[in-house]
Amino acid sequence: MTSTPQHLPDRSSVDAGDGSVTDAVQAPVLDVDNLTKSYPGEPPVQALRGVNLAIGEGELVGIVGPSGSGKTTLLQLMGTLDRPTSGHVRIGGLDVASMADDDVAYLRATRIGFVFQQFFLAEHATVLDNVADGLLYAGVPLEQRRQRAIDALELVGLAQRRHARPTQLSGGQRQRVAIARALVGQPAVVLADEPTGNLDQATGQSILALIDRLHRTGSTIVVITHDHAIAERMSRKVEILDGQIVADTGPDTGADARRRSPAPLARPAIHAPQAAYGGPVNHEPS
Amino acid sequence: MTAEATLTRKRLQLSDLTRLSTIGLRTRKLRAGLSALGIAIGVAAIVAVLGLSSSSQAGLLNEINQLGTNLLTVSNGQTLTATPAELPTTAPGMIGRIPGVQQVQTTGAVSGADAYRNPYIPSVDTNALTVQAASLDLLPVVATRMARGSFLNAATAREPVAVLGAAAAQRLGIDRIYPGERLWVGGQWFYVAGILKPAVLASTIDSSVLIGYPAAEKYLGFDGHPATVYVRARTDRVDAVDNLLAATANPENPNQVNVSQPSSALVAQADAKSALNGLFLGLGAVALLVGAVGVANIMIISVLERRPEIGLRRALGATRSHIRTQFLSEAVLLGLLGGAVGVGAGVLSTAIYAHTKNWAIVIPTEAWAGGIAASLIIGAVAGLVPALRAARLSPTQALWSV
C-alpha cells in the first residue's frame, strides 16, 4: 500500500461533451475483477467467489439476489467500505488495492455516493445540512456545500423543505434527502442498498421513479435489491447467487445517447412524480 | 469540484470540526451537562479553596501594611541568672539618636500593682491584667486609636488616671466611659479616661491598664525603667536600625535585650497555609477524577450509540483520523465546558465570601489556569479510548449491524 498522494483523473473532462474524450468514456466507471471475499470463521464464509463486473458511465444496474447471496458484500467492496480477499476494484480506473486507507476515504468522498435502506439522516440537523454533509469530507467550504445541497434537493423535489428536520418528513421524503446527499458531490457512481426496503409500496415506487429519472439525466446508479420486480425495472439486471453472478443482461447500449446530455445538477429541477408508478410491479416491502 | 482534485486535500476546516464536535453536546444536552458537572465541581472546589486562601492572605497583608511594617520593639530580656533584666532609663533617648528612627515611645511594667473594679474583689482575681506606665504619644506608634474617651496627656499623666486596653476593658466589664468611673489599682482609686481599640502590632497593650509615668512613680512606687520601647524607623532603614537597637538600648549587656519586628510575625502567620486547604484540594481532585470517569463513560456510550453515524461518515469519505478527531474534540469540549463552569463557580463563591469579609478578591493564576488546563487534559485522556474505538470501527460493521 502506498501513501504517496495520487491525482485522481479529472472526472469533469470525462463528462465534457467536446467529443475528444470519447476514449475515456469507454472505460468503466466501476470495474471489479475476479473479486472474492471470505469472512473468518469455522469454516470460513465464502461470500463472493470470483465476481467480474464492469459498469459503464450512465448505466442503471440492478443487482438482485436472495439473502446471503453476497449482494451486500459486493456493494461494500464496490463502495470501498471493505477490502476484498482477492481480486481488484477499480473506481474510474484507480485500483483501490494499491491505495492507502485515507486515499480510499477521499475516493469515497469524491467519487461514490451511498443510499441506504435506513436513510441514516442526522435528526438534529436540517435537511439542507444533511445533504451538505455529503460534501464535508471532500474539503468543500460550508457555503459552497449548502449551495450545492440546494441544487441537489431541487433535483429530488425537496428544495422547499430544506429547513425542515428529517423527523418532520415522511419515509419517502427522507429517502429523497438521502438520495440528494448521495448526489450532491456528483459522484461517478451511486450505490443504493435496498433503497425502498423501509418504504411502503407506493412510496417505494416513487423512489424508483426518481432513480429512473436521475438515470435518464446521466447518473450512474447501482441498486442492490432482493426483489426481482425492482431489478426488472433497471436497464441492466445482474443476478447474483452464492457469491457468483449467474445472469447479466449486459451493458445498456442505449447509454451513449444519454451520456451526452448535460450533467444532472446543471439543469433545472424536474418535479418528481408524487403518484405511484403504474405498472405490474410486485414490490414487497421488507 | 475543481479540475485538480488531489488526494491530499482532506483536512477538516476548524469551523467544520467545531460543528462536528458539538453534535453530541447539542443533541444530548442533559447528559453532556451531567457528565461535565463532575469536572465542574472539582474545578470549582480547587479554584474556591485557592481563591479564598489567597484572598484572606491578601486581606491580612493589606491590614498589616496599613498598620505599618516599620515598627520595632525593644524589650527587656533575662540576665544570666534567669531573672528579668532591666532596660536602662536612658535607653529611649539613646535609641532616638539612631539615624533613621522617627518615633520612640515606651511602656514600663509597674510591678506589684494590679487593677480591680473595686477593693472588694479578691486579690487573686487579677484578670491577667498588667499595669503599665505609658509615654504620651504611644498610640500612633503602635497603630491604634481610642475607642472611647481620651488618652493620657501631660496633665492626666500626673494624676491617678488610667486608660484601658481593649481586652482589659472587656475583662473588667467596662464598655463606656462616664464621669466618675474608677478602678482600684495598687490600693488606690484611678479614674478611667478612655478605652483603646485593639493594637494588633502590640498585643500586650490590649491587656494593660495604662497610666502616666509620673503618676506611676508618685502613687505606685514605679522605678521608671521602661520594659518595652516601641520604635518607628524609616522604612528604608528598618534593617539598619534593627541591627543597632540591642547595643544602643543596653550597651553594657546587649544580650539582655529582645528586639523584634511584630509585623514580620504576622506576615509569617499569613503565609502559613491552612491545613484544611490540603483536605479541600484533595476532595477537589477526587471530584475531578470522578468527573473524568464520567466523561469517559459517556463517551464510550456515545460511540456505541452513534455507530450508524460513524459508519455513515466513513461512507461519506471520513478517514479514521477524522472520526478520532471528532470524538476526541467532543470529549475535550465536554471537559472544557465543565472546567469553565467550575472556574466561574469557584470565582463567584470566592468573590461573594471575600466581599462579605471586605477582602480584595484574589484568584491566583495557577488556580484558574490550572483548573482549565486540568479539565482540558482530563477531557483528552477520558476521550482517548472512546475516540480510538470509534476510529477502529469498520464502516461495514457500523452500517450493517444496526
pLDDT in tens, A54-84: 999 999 999 999 999 999 999 999 999 999 9
Q: What's the confidence (pLDDT) of residue A47?
A: 93
pLDDT band at B116 (very low <50, low <70, confident <90, very high): very high
- Kindly report the average pLDDT of chain B as a whole number: 89
Q: What's the confidence (pLDDT) of residue A17?
A: 40
Q: Which three cell numbers stand for residue B66?
A: 496599613
Domains of chain A: 27-266 (3.40.50.300)
The answer to ipTM > 0.85 is no
Q: What's the confidence (pLDDT) of residue A214?
A: 93
Residues B39/B378, Cβ–Cβ less than 8 Å: yes
Q: Give the ranges where B272-319 is alpha helix by DSSP (H).
A: 275-305, 307-315
Interchain CB distance below 8 Å, B311 and A120:
yes
What is the number of CB-based contacts under 8 A between chain A and chain B? 110
pLDDT band at A93 (very low <50, low <70, confident <90, very high): confident
Give strand ranges (E) for B55-114: 71-76, 101-109
Question: Is the pLDDT at B1 greater than 70, yes or no?
Answer: no
Q: What's the start-to-end Cα distance of chain A, in Å?
A: 40
Interchain CB distance below 8 Å, A5 and B400:
no
Which residue in A24, A139, A35 sits closest to A79, CA to CA? Answer: A35
How many other CB atoms sit within 10 Å of the CB of residue B151? 19
Residues A218/A267, Cβ–Cβ less than 8 Å: no
Distance from CA of A275 to the nearest CA of B (A): 30
Is residue B223 included in any domain, yes or no? yes
User: Distance (Å, rounded) from C-alpha A270 to C-alpha A205?
Assistant: 17
Distance from CA of B12 to the nearest CA of A (A): 7
pLDDT band at B274 (very low <50, low <70, confident <90, very high): low
**Percentage of chain A with pLDDT > 70?**
79
Instruction: Show residues of chain A in contact with B309, CB under 8 Å.
Output: 120, 122
Query: Which comes out higher in pLDDT, residue B154 or A268?
Result: B154
- Kindly list the residues of chain B whose beta carbon comes within 8 Å of any beta carbon in chain A: 1, 3-13, 15-16, 23, 26-27, 308-309, 311-322, 394-396, 399-400, 402
Range of the domain at B344: 14-64+272-400
Q: What is the pLDDT of residues A150-159, one digit of tens each?
A: 999 999 999 9
Residues A31/A80, Cβ–Cβ less than 8 Å: no
Q: What's the confidence (pLDDT) of residue B144?
A: 92
DSSP A120-183: ---TTS-HHHHHHGGGGGGT--HHHHHHHHHHHHHHTT-GGGTTS-GGGS-HHHHHHHHHHHHH
Q: What's the confidence (pLDDT) of residue A11?
A: 44
- Kindly list the residues of chain A whose beta carbon comes within 8 Å of any beta carbon in chain B: 5-8, 10-13, 72, 76, 79, 81-82, 101-103, 105-110, 114, 116, 118, 120, 122-124, 133-134, 136-139, 141-142, 181, 185-186
Q: What's the confidence (pLDDT) of residue B10?
A: 59
HSE-up of B49 (CA within 13 Å, CB side)? Answer: 19
Longest dimension (CA), chain B: 113
Question: Is the pLDDT at B256 greater than 50, yes or no?
Answer: yes
Question: Is the pLDDT at A273 greater than 80, yes or no?
Answer: no
Which DSSP category does A2 fall into?
A: B
User: Distance (Å, rounded) from C-alpha B243 to C-alpha B251?
Assistant: 13
User: Distance (Å, rounded) from C-alpha A129 to C-alpha A166?
Assistant: 11
Q: What's the confidence (pLDDT) of residue A282?
A: 44
| Residue to test with chain A: of B316, B319, B325, B402, most A Cβ within 10 A | B316
Which of B271, B305, B331 terminates a domain? The answer is: B271
Helix (H, G, I), strand (E, B) or coil at A264: helix
User: Distance (Å, rounded) from C-alpha B128 to C-alpha A91?
Assistant: 100
Interchain CB distance below 8 Å, A81 and B23:
no
**Residue B341 and residue B264 share a domain:** no
Is residue B9 included in any domain, yes or no? no
Residues contacting B164, CB < 8 A, separation 6+: B172, B174, B192, B194, B195, B196, B209, B210
Question: Is the pLDDT at A266 greater than 60, yes or no?
Answer: no
Is residue B354 included in any domain, yes or no? yes
Is residue B8 included in any domain, yes or no? no
**Residue B242 and residue B344 share a domain:** no
Is residue B3 included in any domain, yes or no? no
User: Distance (Å, rounded) from C-alpha B302 to C-alpha B375?
Assistant: 20
**Residue B241 and residue B176 share a domain:** yes
Residues B362/B353, Cβ–Cβ less than 8 Å: no
**Residue B51 and residue B154 share a domain:** no
Question: Is the pLDDT at A122 greater than 50, yes or no?
Answer: yes
Which of B271, B304, B335 terminates a domain? The answer is: B271
How many other CB atoms sit within 10 Å of the CB of residue A7? 11
**Residue B287 and residue B204 share a domain:** no
Q: What's the confidence (pLDDT) of residue A254?
A: 53
Which of B244, B271, B298 terminates a domain? The answer is: B271
